[in-house]
Amino acid sequence: MPQTDPRWPLIRLTQQAEDAHGDRARLTELLRRREDRQALNEKLLEPGQSWMLWATALSTLLPPLDVADFGCGTGVLSVELARWAKKVVAIDRAASSLEQARARAEKAGATNITFLEADLHKLPLPAAKKDLVVISQSLHHVAEPAAVLREAARLLKPDGRIVVLELMPHREKWVVEQLGHLHSGFEPAVLERELSEAGFKNVVFTPYAREGASPFRVFLLTGAKK
């Protein structure tokens, strides 16, 4: 597979990860399913929602971890993380979204998720307890992204990991009114700098090609707490 292929970052992560839980086999199957479901996902309205399949694949690479899902929404990613994580705290400020997330978790039989209605800028959680913080397309909904990244750093153990999935800058103004976006995407270099200032090291930027006719393009940032 060439390194220009958009699936290459997942292959690279798999090569670097331990495989005690059969991660590589699951990744192969998930990539096959991704191709089968690509056309369906491109019809979804939420920007970047087709990247749910990437999140699914990433979750299978995790050893049993204590995870925080920042801005969990209706719990799609939280439930996928819970399949492999030790426990997940799913955080959102919207009670209606958490209600849907609870229903999704119950339907999936995910009993290792706790739900927290809270502001991501300041969370009622203890410091240095989490192994992983995932922020999947949540920063464009918050007033101060840098403050949220600092809060993620506070929650993580030393060398704990952060994964940020966000939108590149775009001109789709309808997302402000219809979806409540506060930011029209981000320049990756800006978030990279803010991650470093928040206390993260070894920040890695991975761009992805635009999918189909979608006006949105996403990118991934990963790093470890200093």
Instruction: Tell me the pLDDT tens digit for each residue of 212-226.
Output: 788 899 999 999 999
Contact 88, 133 (CB under 8 A): no
pTM of the model: 0.74
Is residue 91 within 8 A of residue 70, CB to CB? The reply is: yes
Report if residue 54 sits inside a domain: no
Task: Please report which confidence band the pLDDT of residue 178 belongs to, taking 50, 70 and 90 as the band edges.
Answer: confident
Residue 189 above 80 pLDDT?
A: yes
Give the number of other CB atoms < 10 A from CB of residue 82.
23
Residue 41: predicted pLDDT? 43
Give the model confidence (pLDDT) of 91-108 as tens digits: 999 999 999 999 999 999
Domain count, the chain: 1
Cα separations (Å) of 111 from 35, 174, 211, 218?
Answer: 30, 37, 34, 31
* Residue 53, in any domain of the structure: no
- Is 127 a member of any domain? yes
Tell how strand 156-167 and strand 130-136 pair up: parallel
Q: What is the pLDDT of residues 19-37, one digit of tens each?
A: 555 555 555 555 555 544 4
Q: pLDDT at residue 79 above 50?
A: yes
| Encoded tokens for 136 | 């999947």
Q: Do the domain assignments include residue 40?
A: no
Query: Around Cβ 202, how many Cβ atoms within 10 Å?
Result: 11
User: Is residue 176 situated within a structural domain?
Assistant: yes
Rounded alpha-carbon distances, angstroms, from residue 135 to 3, 28, 41, 90? 25, 25, 20, 11
Please check the confidence at residue 134 and state whether its pLDDT lies above 80.
yes
Chain centroid offset of residue 52 CA: 9
Element (H, E) at 117: strand 113-117
Do 73 and 93 contact (CB within 8 A), yes or no?
A: no
The mean pLDDT of the chain is 83
Residues whose CB is less than 8 angstroms from the CB of residue 177 and which lie 6 or more positions away in sequence, other chains included: none
Domain span including residue 98: 62-225
- Would you call 178 exposed, middle or buried from its count of C-beta atoms within 10 A (0-12, 13-18, 19+)? exposed
CATH of the domain at 215: 3.40.50.150
> Domain for residue 191, yes or no?
yes
Residue 83 maps to a domain? yes
How many CB atoms within 10 Å of residue 30? 17
Residue type at 20 in one-letter notation: A
Does residue 70 lie in a domain region? yes
- Residue 164 in tokens: 């940020």
